[in-house]
């Protein structure tokens, strides 16, 4: 299991994109037709993950990290058994 994607909630996506491009050198492109901006954090030849700037909302109010797992049902059971609460089902 490993992180494969992140989403950062922002209020002003264009302003946030300019900030992350300037500070971290990320390449950020707006997804056509959606309030969603894809962030490429570096070349594919280097370790790291890419992500996005999403419109801050009730569903995206804190940073979110996507973790790839071989079996989603087993992973969900495992996190519940470890004491987590599933906020959104699959």
- pLDDT score for 40: 96
Return the bridge partners of 9, or none. Answer: 54
Please compute the mean of the pLDDT values over residues 30-51 and round it to a whole number. 91
Expressed as residue numbers, the domain containing 18 is 2-81
The confidence score (pLDDT) of residue 88 equals 80
What the block records as the tokens of 49 is 């993950």
pLDDT at position 90 over 80: no
- Report if residue 88 sits inside a domain: no
Asked whether residue 16 is assigned to any structural domain, the reply reads yes
The strand ranges marked E within the chain are 2-10, 27-30, 36-40, 50-55, 64-68
Region 21-37 average pLDDT: 92
Q: What average pLDDT does the segment 47-63 reach?
A: 93
Other C-beta atoms closer than 10 Å to the C-beta of 26 total 18
- The pLDDT, as a whole number, for residue 89 is 80
51: domain CATH number is: 3.10.180.10
């Amino acid at each position: 299991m490993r992180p494969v994607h992140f989403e950062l909630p922002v209020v002003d996506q264009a302003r946030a994109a300019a900030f992350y491009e300037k500070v971290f050198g990320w390449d950020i492109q707006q997804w056509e037709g959606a309030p969603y901006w894809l962030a490429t954090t570096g070349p594919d030849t280097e370790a790291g993950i890419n992500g996005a700037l999403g419109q801050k909302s009730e569903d995206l109010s804190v940073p979110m990290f996507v973790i790839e797992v071989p079996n989603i049902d087993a992973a969900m059971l495992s996190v519940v058994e470890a004491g987590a609460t599933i906020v959104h089902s699959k």
